[in-house]
Amino acid sequence: MSEEGDNISEMDSDRDLEEGTEMGLLDDVVYSENYLPSYRSAGGIVPKVEQAEFDQNPDSLFFNDGKRRIDFVLVYEDESKKDLDKKNTFQRRKRRREHFEASLMNMGMELEATRSVVDEKILFVKVHMPWEVLCTYAEVLHIKLPIQANDLASKSSPFSCFTKYFYPSEDVIATETEFFTAPFEKNRLEYFIIKDQDEFFTPAMRSRMAYYILCRAPYEERGAVKKFGIHKLLDGGVYKAAYPLHDGRFNIKSQDEGCPNERYLLYTEWANPKSFYKMQPLDLIRKYYGEKIGIYFAWLGFYTLMLTLAAIVGLCCFIFGYRTRETSTWSKEVCDPEIGGKIIMCPRCDRFCSYWRLNSTCETSKDLCIFDNYGTLVFAVFMAIWVTLFLELWKRYQARLEYEWDTVEFLEQEEQPRPEYEAKCLYQRTNPVTGAEEKVPYTACGKCVRVSCGIGTVLFWIFLIVASVVGVIIYRLAVFFTFSIRLREDIKGLEPFKEYVTPQMATTVTASIISVVIIMILNNLYEKVAIWITDFELPRTRTDYENSLTLKMFLFQFVNYYSSCFYVAFFKGKVVGYPGQPVYWMGLYRNEECDPGGCLIELTTQLSVIMGGKAIWNNIQEVLLPWVKNLIFRHCNKVKSEKIIPRWEQDYQLQPLGKLGLFYEYLEMVIQFGFVTLFVASFPLAPLLALVNNLLEIRVDAWKLTTQFRRIVPEKAQDIGAWQPILQGVAILAVATNAAIIAFTSDMIPRLVYYWSFSVSPYTENTSHTMTGYINNTLSIFNISDFTIDSMPLDEVIPYWFNNSTTCRYRDFRFPPSHPRQYDHNIYYWHVIAAKLAFIIVVEHIVYFTKFVLSYAIPDVPDKVKEQIKREKYLTQVLLHEANLKKVAKQVKPFADMIKCDLEGENLDQHL
C-alpha cells in the first residue's frame, strides 16, 4: 500500500473513534482472546489471499487444485472497479476485509479468491478448513463422532410392510449405518472410526465450524479493543454475502465424482410436487441442513400426521351436522311460516332499525345447526384428548431423534456463547457453580433494567392491539347500524344472495377482513420491535436468544390473532340489556347483539376468514416473493449462454433465508395450532383445513429451501425449544375455551335445560320430553310502548305488515310485561346459568383428569432409547476413559518394575 494510502488509513482509524456509527459503520466491541482458542494477532505484514481463475467446472466444490473442499464462501465488491467518490469508505472497507482475511489465515484457514463470471466487480473468497483446524474446533464445539457401530438391533415397526411404500427407496437414499458416538478429542483419534479424513467430518459439520470461526475472527484492533465477526462486516457493506455451498444443482444430477448430489435427492424425493405422498427423508434433511432444520420438519410432519385423525373426526362431525340441519326441531320452528313467520322480533339498533320476522333468519339457523349440535360436544372432548396424545407422542418421537442425531446433551456441552454476548463482557462476577471469576456483559442492576425495558415494551404493544380490537368493535357497531338501514335496498337485484347477506353477516365478514389487515400491519411493526428488545437484552446463547424472542412474539401474536375471536366468543351479545334499556358503549354506540341463533356462526365466520387470509398471505410471502426476487436478479445479471457459471456464483444468485427464517415457520404453525385447538368447538372443519394447508406447507417449505434459497448454516438443536411449553400452555387453555364456547356461545345448554326441565309439566302441557316449543319459550316479550324516545323505531322504517302489534320478541330469559318483576331475569335464566357452570366444571375436570392419566401412562422417552443411551455412555467410558487409564498404566509399568526390583534387592541385602 502506498504512503498516501497508509495516511488515509490512519486518518480513517482516528475518525472512526470519533464518529462511531454515524456514517453507517460498525459498532466498537471489546473482545477477549480467550474466546478464540487458536487466535494469533495478524500483526506485521498482512498476508494476501491467493487469487485463481475459474477452472470451468460448474459443479466443483473444491479449490482449483481439486483437493481442498470449499467450506464457506465470502462475497465482496471490488471498489477499485467502481467510479465513485467515496474513497475513504472504500479504503476503510478494504482495510477491514484484508485484516479479517489475514486473521482467518493466521487461525489456520486457507483462502482462495476468484473473480465473478457475470460481474467483474464481484469477487468470491473460498474458505477451506484443513484437517488440523477441523480437529481443533470439533473439540471446541464438542461435536459427537462415531466410535463403534450400534450393536443394539432396532425393532421394525408392525406397520412397516405398509409404510415402506411411502418412504423413498433405499436404492435412491441409502439407509445410514447407526453408530454409537462420543464428543471428539484430538488426542484420542485412534478410538474414532476414521475411514477417510476427507469424509470424516460431513460438509454440514465443516460449514458449522467455519461459521463459528467467521463469527469470532477480528478485523480491526486498537490496543485492547477488537472489532470482530462476519455479521458486522455484512452489516457494514464490507462483504455482500457469506454462505456455505449447495452440493450441486437441484434439478440436474452432477457427474462430478466429488459431488454427493444430496440437494438433487432432496428435491426429487422431498420437494418435488410428485413426491407429495412420500414420507420425509429426515436423516438426509438433518445431514444436509443440520439438526435445527431437521427437527422442524420432523415436528411439522408429525403434527400433520396427527392432524389426519382429527380431520377425519371433524369431517364426520360436520357431515352429521349437515345431514341433521333440515330435521332439527329448532331450525324447523324458525323456518315455519306459522311459528317463525308470525314471531315479530324487536329492532336491533335505535331509531333506524325496524321490526323483522324470525323466519328471515331461516338459512342462518340451518347453517348454525351444522356447527351447533351434540356432535360438537363429542368432538371438543375428543380434541382435548387428541392434543394430549399429540404432545406426549411427540415427546417420545423427539427423544428418539435426540438420540439418533446426537443432541441428548447438546445444551449442557456444545452450545457456545453468542459473539454479540462475548463482545460486551466487561464486568467481573463469580460463577455460582464453579466459583471461578468470569466476565459478563452487565451487572445485576443492568440486567434488571434490560428485562424491565423489554417487559414494558411488550405490554405497550399488547395494549396497542387491544386498542385496535376496540376500534374494530366500534366499527362493527357503527356499520351494523348503516347496513341495517341500506343493505336490503342495495341488494334488491341479487335475489339468490338476499337471504344470506344479512346486516349481521355483512358486518361480521367486513370486520373480519379489517381484522386480518390490522393483524398483518401490526405484525410487521412489532417484529422489528421484538428483535430490537431481544438484542438489547443480550441473551447468552443462541438458544436463549431464540427462546426470549419466541416468548415475546407469541405473546404479541396470541393477542393479535385471537383477541377478535375471544371477543365474538365470550363478550359479544353477553351484556346487551333489553330493548327498552339497552347497554351503550361510551354512551354512544349500542352494544352489539348476537344473531337469534347465537354468536357461534359469527365465530365460525371469523375463524375461517382469519385462517384463510393468513394462509394465503403467508404463501405469497414464502413462495411468490423469493421466486420473483430470484427472477429479477437473474434477469438483471443475464449472461451469454456460452458462459459457464461456477457453483458459488449460482448460489449467490439465490436469496438468503435470513437470521430468523425458521422462527417464522414455527410461529405460523403454532398460531394455526391455536386456531385448531382453542376454538375447534365452533369450527370442526378447522383440523381438515389445517391438514390440507400443512400438506402443502411441507412441500412448499422444502421447495423453497432447496431451490430458492442459499444453503443455510447447519445448526444443532436439541428440540423445538420454547415452542414446546407454548404448545402445552395452548393445550391446557384449549380445554377451558372449548368448554366455555359450548357453555356460553352455543345454544346447547339452553336446549338441554329446556328438554329436561321446561318441556314438561308444570311448565308445559307435554307429558314427555320434547324440543317442540323451544323457540317460543326462549324468546322474551317486550311491550313496544316501553321504548324510550331515543330507541323507538321511526314511523318510516316500520314495515307494512306490522299491523299495529303491541309487542315484539327478543333473545333473552326475562319476565314479560305486566308481570310484577317485568323484564327481570326469570327462573329459566338461572337454571341455564347453573347448568353452564356445572357443565364447565364437570367437563374440565373429566378432561384434565384424562389428560393427566395419558401423560403419566405414556413415558417421554421410549425404553429402547433409554437402553441405547446407557449403552453409549458405557462404551464411551470403556473406550475413552478406561483405555486411557490402561495407557497410563502401560507407561508407568517400567518404572513400577524398576522400583519393585530395587525393593527386592534391598530386602535381599538385608537378609544376607
Average pLDDT value over all residues in the chain: 81
pLDDT band for position 12 (cuts 50, 70, 90):
very low
Supply the pLDDT for residue 521. Answer: 82
Residue in the block written with cell 379489517: 514
Which of 383, 372, 263, 264 has its CA nearest to residue 320?
372
Mean pLDDT of 34-57: 62
Supply the pLDDT for residue 20. Answer: 37
759-789: per-residue pLDDT in tens? 888 887 778 888 888 888 889 999 999 998 8
Supply the pLDDT for residue 190. Answer: 81
Supply the pLDDT for residue 214. Answer: 92
Supply the pLDDT for residue 83. Answer: 55
| Residue 548 · residue 597 · CB < 8 Å | no
- For residues 233 and 218, what is the distance between their CA atoms, to the nearest angstrom? 10
pLDDT at 896 over 70: no
Supply the pLDDT for residue 196. Answer: 84
Supply the pLDDT for residue 235. Answer: 84
Supply the pLDDT for residue 884. Answer: 64
Supply the pLDDT for residue 285. Answer: 93
| Distances in whole angstroms, Cα of residue 56 to Cα of each of 51, 52, 621, 649, 849 | 15, 12, 36, 12, 68
Mean pLDDT of 207-219: 90
- Position 775: which residue type? I
Question: Which of 7-21, 167-181, 331-345 holds the top average pLDDT?
Answer: 331-345
pLDDT band for position 904 (cuts 50, 70, 90):
low
- For residues 846 and 129, what is the distance between their CA atoms, to the nearest angstrom? 60
The set of cell numbers assigned to 762 is: 308444570
Residue 306: other Cβ atoms inside 10 A = 19
| Residue 610 · residue 564 · CB < 8 Å | yes
| Residue 710 · residue 560 · CB < 8 Å | no
On the question of a cis peptide bond just before residue 244, with omega within 30 degrees of 0, the verdict is no
- For residues 289 and 193, what is the distance between their CA atoms, to the nearest angstrom? 23
pLDDT band for position 329 (cuts 50, 70, 90):
confident
pLDDT band for position 42 (cuts 50, 70, 90):
very low
Supply the pLDDT for residue 306. Answer: 94
The strands making up 241-243's β-sheet, listed across from edge to edge, are 50-51, 110-115, 122-128, 72-77, 241-243
| Residue 259 · residue 247 · CB < 8 Å | yes
- For residues 727 and 391, what is the distance between their CA atoms, to the nearest angstrom? 8
Per-residue H/E/C for 750-772: HHHHHHHHHCCCCCCCCCCCCCC
Mean pLDDT of 447-454: 81
- For residues 590 and 218, what is the distance between their CA atoms, to the nearest angstrom? 65
Sign of CA dihedral 494, 495, 496, 502: positive
Supply the pLDDT for residue 293. Answer: 93
pTM of structure = 0.84
Supply the pLDDT for residue 144. Answer: 87
Q: Percentage of the chain surpassing pLDDT 70?
A: 82
Supply the pLDDT for residue 153. Answer: 59
Which of 750, 680, 683, 831 has its CA nearest to residue 330?
750
Which of 711, 669, 582, 47 has its CA nearest to residue 297?
669
792-804: per-residue pLDDT in tens? 888 888 888 887 7
pLDDT at 414 over 70: no
Question: Which of 51-55, 158-162, 209-213, 255-259 holds the top average pLDDT?
Answer: 209-213
Supply the pLDDT for residue 640. Answer: 52
- For residues 499 and 502, what is the distance between their CA atoms, to the nearest angstrom? 7
Interior CA angle at 54 toward 49 and 56, to 5°? 160
Residue 361 per-residue DSSP state: G
Chain mean position to CA 744: 31
568-625: per-residue pLDDT in tens? 888 888 888 898 889 887 777 788 777 666 688 888 888 888 888 777 877 777 777 7
Per-residue H/E/C for 767-789: CCCCCCCHHHHCEEEEEHHHCCC
- For residues 650 and 658, what is the distance between their CA atoms, to the nearest angstrom? 18
Within 8 A by CB and 6+ apart from 735, the residues are 384, 843, 844, 847, 848, 851
Report which of residues 596 and 505 the model is more confident about. Answer: 505
| Residue 440 · residue 32 · CB < 8 Å | no
Mean pLDDT of 817-828: 92
Report which of residues 464 and 342 the model is more confident about. Answer: 342
- For residues 561 and 518, what is the distance between their CA atoms, to the nearest angstrom? 10
| Distances in whole angstroms, Cα of residue 170 to Cα of each of 253, 273, 578, 737, 842 | 18, 20, 71, 46, 52
* φ/ψ (deg, to 5) at 93: -60, -45
Which of 770, 772, 777, 776 has its CA nearest to residue 755?
770
| Distances in whole angstroms, Cα of residue 463 to Cα of each of 68, 460, 498, 563, 572 | 56, 5, 39, 11, 20
Mean pLDDT of 274-278: 82
In sequence order, the β-bridge partners of residue 744 are none
pLDDT at 368 over 70: yes
Supply the pLDDT for residue 128. Answer: 95
Supply the pLDDT for residue 58. Answer: 85
Mean pLDDT of 191-198: 85
Supply the pLDDT for residue 132. Answer: 92
pLDDT at 627 over 60: yes
Supply the pLDDT for residue 767. Answer: 81
- Among 185-194, 507-516, 739-748, the least confident range: 507-516
| Domain locations along the chain | 58-143+184-245, 279-417+538-749
Mean pLDDT of 197-222: 88
- Among 11-15, 553-557, 810-814, the least confident range: 11-15
Q: Percentage of the chain surpassing pLDDT 90?
A: 25
Supply the pLDDT for residue 644. Answer: 84
Mean pLDDT of 225-254: 87
